[in-house]
Structure 1
């Protein structure tokens, strides 16, 4: 059986995708530039925190988890490179077998050796039905994983899944610790041990996640000895704390980042992303689930105005989960802002204007609630703009703010201003977003979208490594979303970071929706060096 490496496959998967914007460095002072640890520590402000720090439950599945390493990792240009493996995998000619040779001499931060058994344990545990990993369907192609000695791992697939190697950036858990406890609720979920460049020192939920450099890291001890992610959900508060010197860097929405434009001590950098904002249109809602309402909203919304006014130009209109700059984008699926067309769609479907201008059909008002996350100014602004555009078409949308604890139980029937997006391969985002069988599975398929043609295309796209067939499948998905859009996609957002200028060696990657934790100018904090 002829072997081939994955390097070419990974490069091809990202060829033609969005351009990468370089980022700069951050002053790592724990309390700003006046801090005594200014040359050895950094505090950055992020908006969200994970539910768990266990890779068995999905933490770090896309890399950059700080505490853990995967078999592979992504470099700044999103190319795969070896991590716990010594080289990229050897792939059988039929695409069903991936063989990894492991790095020798690696230890977990507790001093115990890393080996093939830990890799096998990690993947088998994730696939176990008892494990509450919402992303386990991303490993659906995996049939078996086995160790060959201490330094070789062989994965066998059910079908040739083209992006499988990109799924092996997932962090590896230590069997000697995690195997002896409840995978879903044991202490490993909040006090993990890994092989990564940093060791967790504290996680005060809702406040901060703190790390210290791992002196035994196989890649060399990082120069940034202490690294803290301050969890600040409110955008305005994050900007205020950055200006006060409490933070060395932060992610900010465009209108707040603009306030630091003339600050000589700080710089603002943009990272191109796959991150989109979308409105879920719940299938179970009598109004939002109506195909004509969905089609009308899809053309009533003024996406370019949102990019210009809300994002200050830092983004692009979104017509689906795939950005227009990606090679996977289906040309011809762009939607033009057209209120007249929206009105005709509704008229033809029997949605007639009522006395107050809100349309009605069979005694049902064209009205539904739209929730957005409290403190998230970008979501709030998108929600208000969407509601304003909808009103012009005769659809009443009532915007409401809440926490995820308030919003999640309502997702079956109420619309949500949601976010998502994952670079690298169209399967990563579209399957979890649109597959009907995942409707109601946590934050997967939040709209409970159900389209047999989309389900079929999603399966075809992930079950072949023939690129032409995959492109045809994902083109079908995007065209079906034009016919029956279970989501109104609004914008793709460039992430903006404001950072102090005290460190060298920093870049950004093309980023997913999960911004600020694994991404941002600190995605490679272990490589930062202090400016001289």
Structure 2
């Protein structure tokens, strides 16, 4: 009898222990995988790989979104407003219109233990300015004359002309590299084995497959809450979606509007969205030897494309129509008088230009999956132009190939592209409407002259007025078919604390598991 009572008590105790173990597991684990959320790897799907892990080299957003977790900027942006926040620089001031001074944060170390100081800032800026490095940022930094190290924690950057928007270049472009490391190992090695001051360190990079990062627990701003990160490259949306619904990835952006409901109704995730400072547009390519060199043809295309219809039918209203070249949250935005849909006017202008629309054939280059419904929008534009008789051949490109076509001036008569996020006019207008800018699809000497006159204006009201004049010139000359200010839509694991940012960066240091 005594032994039977002891056995019964032992069984009860085992049952209680087992129940406690289950409850503990349920509270601290991912229900789908059983992995403790504290140690769970965050998997983020991107459409394409980074071209390099070397900072200050490539303006491609796929590169930037990854390396900003390895390197730090001097100035960050607020997630919602886009306003400047101190980071590696604690404060800054304009000493005079040609000189900016930055006070640097003390006690910061690079991931190899070397101290962050003014020499590191100078080395990173000098890297951009050295033409041998072929930095895609050089055209934006061409006005920089000299970087002076005042002391270990004070640096001055001197411009050849007044540069009123220079803080935007500091916030959006510059990431700080370790200069002695670059000299020691060389640029080729540093491009695959980066050293920054950021919250994450490189673990492994397998080209066109994944980039694995691990937390930098000595990070100056504190230990990252997410300990392991994988950027996984999945070009096709259907594969990204399947991986998300299966719990293999936890986050991806550019969810097509026709898939939002599926994510919301899944047991896996939720939708987060934010209005970006990015604009999407149809470039009318004057670098192509075709009819787009004729202003009346470009104007006709603007009249023939029904943007409100595209926004309604292709994007389900996820976006804000623009009539000019800037997003409405850009500080230099001014309202412009754009084009309304008028197919008869389009045909009339084509005939005035000497073209019979029934005999016209144009090409349209588009990426697929890089921007919301980009391929579908391009095909819908082709169909709209078909209504007035123009045959349009749509060429669907892999993202890297699409960019190469544009930068090498091999794109067709038209191409679909997005630009941003941009918070001031120069970043967009100088980079997309000047002769030698890498992503430009339009050049007119009068427009470029007006741009060059606007850039150095230091007084904000005068500057905005000058850029407003340029914006209307671009509309009148029909440089683009402006489409919309982009709504960024993310699929997010239910267990992930994530707030989308207007600057579109994925700053993992700000994320955590629930």
Task: Sort the TM-score into its range (normalised by shorter chain).
Answer: 0.7 to 0.9
Equivalent runs, 1:365-514 vs 2, <5 Å: 366-374=360-368, 378-404=373-399, 406-407=401-402, 408-409=404-405, 411-412=409-410, 414=412, 415-438=414-437, 441=438, 444-445=439-440, 447=441, 449-504=442-497, 506-511=498-503
**Larger CA deviation: 318-327 vs 299-308:** 318-327
Specify which of 328, 331, 351 is matched with residue 332 of structure 2. 328
Q: CA deviation at 1:45?
A: 1.5
Question: Residues 104-503 of structure 1: matches in 2 within 5 Å?
Answer: 104-169=106-171, 170-180=174-184, 182-183=186-187, 186-251=188-253, 252-263=255-266, 265-283=268-286, 284-324=288-328, 326-353=330-357, 358-359=358-359, 366-374=360-368, 378-404=373-399, 406-407=401-402, 408-409=404-405, 411-412=409-410, 414=412, 415-438=414-437, 441=438, 444-445=439-440, 447=441, 449-503=442-496
Give the Å deviation of 1:262. 2.3
- What is the rounded CA distance, in whole Å, between the counterparts of 1:402 and 1:62 in structure 2? 21
Residues 273 and 489 in structure 2, CA contact (< 8 A), matched pair in contact too = yes
**2: CA distance between counterparts of 1:224 and 1:241?**
20
Q: Which has the higher contact order (CA 8 A, sep 6+)?
A: 1
Q: Deviations over 1:49-68 (max 9, x none)?
A: 32112113146779970001
8 A contact 2:323–2:339 mirrored in 1: yes
Cα-to-partner distance string for 1:106-144 (whole Å, 9 max, x where unaligned): 111111111111111110111011121112121122211
Over aligned residue pairs, what C-alpha RMSD do you find? 2.4
Structure 1 residues 57, 285: CA separation in 2 closer, same or farther (over 3 Å shift)?
A: same
Indicate the SS of the match to 2:379: helix
Counterpart in the other structure of 2:21 = none
Give the number of aligned pairs: 473
The alpha-carbon deviation at position 405 of structure 1 amounts to 5.7
Deviations 1:80-110 (A, max 9, x none): 111112x220222x32221112111111111
Q: How many Å apart are 1:435 and its aligned residue?
A: 1.0
Scaled by the length of structure 2, the TM-score of the pair is: 0.86
Structure 1 residues 393 and 472: alpha-carbon distance in aligned structure 2, compared to 1, 3 A threshold: farther
Residue 391 of structure 1, CA deviation = 1.3
For the residues of structure 2 that align with 1:235 and 1:194, how far apart are their CA atoms?
A: 32
Q: Which moved more, 1:248-257 or 1:237-246?
A: 248-257
Cα distance in 2 between the residues matched to 1:529 and 1:195: 20
Greater mean alpha carbon deviation, residues 29-38 or residues 246-255: 29-38
SS state at 1:274 partner: strand
| 2:244–2:268 Cα contact (<8 Å) kept | no
Q: Distance in 2 between matches of 1:387 and 1:467?
A: 40
TM-score scaled by length of structure 1: 0.83
Residues 525 and 63 (structure 1), Cα distance of their counterparts in 2 relative to 1, 3 Å cut: closer
SS in structure 1 at match of 2:436: helix
For residue 193 of structure 1, report the CA deviation from its aligned partner. Answer: 0.5
Cross-structure match for 2:20:
none
* CA distance in structure 2 between the aligned counterparts of 1:336 and 1:386, rounded to whole angstroms: 15
Instruction: List gaps (5 residues or longer) in structure 1.
Output: 1-28, 360-365
1:405, 1:269 → 2: CA distance? 27
Q: Distance in 2 between matches of 1:48 and 1:405?
A: 8
How far has the Cα of 1:176 moved from its partner? 0.9
SS at match of 1:288: helix
Partner of 1:19: none
User: 1:281 touches 1:486 (CA, 8 Å); kept in 2?
Assistant: yes
Q: Deviations over 1:494-518 (max 9, x none)?
A: 01011122244x422213xxx5xxx
Give 2:14's aligned residue.
Answer: none
Tell me by how many angstroms 1:300 deviates: 1.0
Larger Rg: 2
Higher percent of residues as helix: 2
Q: Equivalent residue for 1:9? A: none
Cα separation, 1, equivalents of 2:431 and 2:115: 35
Contact in 2 for aligned 1:503/1:530 (Cα 8 Å): yes
Unaligned runs of 5+ in 2: 1-27
Whether contact under 8 Å (1:311, 1:493) holds in the other structure is no
Q: Secondary structure in 2 aligned to 1:57?
A: coil
Do 1:30 and 1:247's aligned partners in 2 also have CA atoms closer than 8 Å? Answer: no
User: Conserved in 2, the CA contact under 8 Å of 1:74 and 1:80?
Assistant: yes
Alignment of 1:51-130 (within 5 A): 51-58=51-58, 65-76=68-79, 77-85=81-89, 87-92=90-95, 94-130=96-132
Work out the CA distance in 2 between the residues paired with 1:382 and 1:255.
13
